[in-house]
Amino acid sequence: MKIVDVTICPGYDVAKEVTGLALEKGVKIAPHGCQELQLPLAAAIPHGIFLEYYPVAVDPLRAEMFLPRMAPDNDGYVTVPDRPGVGFELNMDLLNRYKIG
pTM attached to this predicted model: 0.80
Q: CA-to-CA distance for 52 and 39, rounded, in angstroms?
A: 9
In the CATH scheme, what architecture does the domain 12-97 have? Alpha-Beta Barrel (3.20)
Task: Give tens-digit pLDDT for 51-100.
Answer: 888 888 888 888 899 999 888 999 999 999 999 988 999 999 999 999 99
Q: What is the pLDDT of residue 7?
A: 65
pLDDT at residue 50 above 70? yes
Helix axes 35-44, 12-24, angle to 10 degrees: 40
Q: What is the pLDDT of residue 6?
A: 61
pLDDT at residue 8 above 90? no
**Residue extents of the structural domains in the chain:** 12-97
CB-based burial, 11-39: b 16+ in 10 Å, e otherwise: eeeebbebbeebeeeeeebbbbbbbbbbb
